[in-house]
Amino acid sequence: MNLIKGALPYFALPFIISLLLVPICKKIGLKLGIYAVENQRTVHRGHIVRMGGVAIFLAFMMSMAILWSADDTLNGILLGGMIVFLGALLDDIYDLKPWQKLLFEVAGAVVAMTMGEVVLKEIQIFNWYISNPLVTYGLSFFWIVGITNAINLIDGLDGLSCGISFIVTCTIGLLGFFMGRRDICILALCLSGAILGFLPYNFHPASIFVGDCGAQFLGFTIACISLLGFKTTALITLGFPILILFIPISDTLIAIVRRKMKGQKVFEADRGHLHHILMFKLKLGHQKTVLILYAVTALFAGAAILSYFYPKAGMLVVIALLILSDIFVEYTGMINPKWHPVLSMLNKLFGWPKMIDHEDPVDTQQIEEDKNKKESE
């Protein structure tokens, strides 16, 4: 009971602030004309404001200023997050070029790593120890920038990126509690409270979008908090945040491979993401797709917690989840319709599943026709 009382202010304050700020952000966005642009990749119709992330950002920043005395680490995370947020907000308003957005992400990562010392100190691979700054700083940099973009890439359906981020922050906060890390608990509680205050407005059908400013700020802050928790441990311990963030990480890596194989630019958006496959190719619909991805995220988060207490049992669960994930990727042709090594092996051994010819998961013309047909019915 004392634990709940102690944690409640760090969750309740950002939740209330975010809940109250969202309608204000919506009015300002409507007045300024900051709407989500409709194109072949989007699934929404009409003018929907895309600056809801402002509410999450302000709720988190205000709560941290009120509830916690700042130190160099916190200042580095907050200042770096502010830089990433401002760059993404400019993108929401003016549609910046990818390289321009990347500059803000790089600047934010550098600030967090130098000012806040949010960086791996040493990497242990079995009996090998690597403390070379080029390696440790390099890995930390790619982790922060990568997760920043990974959360943004899954922001394709109502409530998806925020709901997954909420599950992720709660899990990181719980692991931080088990590790005796009060700083991680407070950061995770404040961020999860700010997210939950926004979610009622963003869940399907959404009345406001989190926007790049919200998705990239969430990705950046989550990356820093997770790195903060495991920066002095072995590389294998990074498996905890990797497991918790499995959906955005795997979806991003698959997107990069898929686009390279198709001869597309890495930053060229498409409709081959996991949520597109579930919603359009498997025809699960908007809400079911989001709830399924919530459940999968929770499964991997649970595997991370299990691995913390029971490493061997956790490893077995993780292996099973990874095998199932690979089967799904191959069966749906997420990377390439002709790439299915595991399914081919299963087919030869057991005669299951039957191999079928897949349509291209990024067939935007067919997807658009299906969407228009559904709307006309």
Cα distance between residue 87 and residue 59, in whole Å: 18
Q: Which amino acid, one-letter code, is at 120?
A: L
Contact residues for 37 (Cβ-Cβ < 8 A; gap 6+): 95
Long-range contacts of 331-340 (CB under 8 A, 24+ apart): 332/277, 332/281, 332/282, 332/358, 332/361, 333/358, 333/359, 333/360, 333/361, 334/254, 334/258, 334/272, 334/274, 334/277, 334/361, 335/254, 335/257, 335/258, 335/261, 336/258, 336/261, 337/361
Asked whether residue 150 is domain-assigned, the answer is yes
In tens digits, what is the pLDDT along the chain, a chain of 377 residues?
A: 566 677 889 999 999 999 999 999 999 999 988 877 665 555 556 678 999 999 999 999 999 999 988 789 999 999 999 999 999 999 999 989 989 999 999 999 999 999 999 988 877 666 777 778 898 899 999 999 999 999 998 888 899 999 999 999 999 999 889 888 889 999 999 999 999 999 999 998 899 999 999 999 999 999 999 888 665 444 445 677 888 899 999 999 988 888 888 777 777 777 778 888 898 888 888 899 999 999 999 999 999 999 889 989 999 999 999 999 998 988 888 887 777 788 888 777 777 766 555 544 444 444 445 555 555 54
Asked whether residue 248 is domain-assigned, the answer is yes
Asked whether residue 94 is domain-assigned, the answer is yes
pLDDT, position 189: 95
Asked whether residue 332 is domain-assigned, the answer is no
Cα distance between residue 266 and residue 273, in whole Å: 13
pLDDT, position 110: 97
Alpha helices in the chain (DSSP H): 2-32, 53-67, 72-94, 98-114, 133-153, 160-178, 182-202, 211-230, 239-244, 246-261, 274-276, 286-309, 311-332, 341-350, 364-376
Cα distance between residue 125 and residue 248, in whole Å: 25
Asked whether residue 26 is domain-assigned, the answer is yes
Q: Which amino acid, one-letter code, is at 143?
A: W
Asked whether residue 365 is domain-assigned, the answer is no
Question: Residue-wise over 229-246: b if at least 16 C-beta within 10 A, else e?
Answer: bbbebebebbbbbbbbbb
Domain assignment of residue 91, given as a range: 2-310
pLDDT, position 77: 96
* Matching residue, tokens 């975010």: 18
Contact residues for 7 (Cβ-Cβ < 8 A; gap 6+): 185, 189
Q: Please state the domain count of the chain.
A: 1
Cα distance between residue 356 and residue 349, in whole Å: 17
Cα distances from 76 to residues 106, 113, 116, in angstroms, run 14, 7, 4
Asked whether residue 329 is domain-assigned, the answer is no
pLDDT, position 363: 46
pLDDT, position 364: 43
* Matching residue, tokens 């007045």: 31
Asked whether residue 334 is domain-assigned, the answer is no
* Matching residue, tokens 């990347």: 102
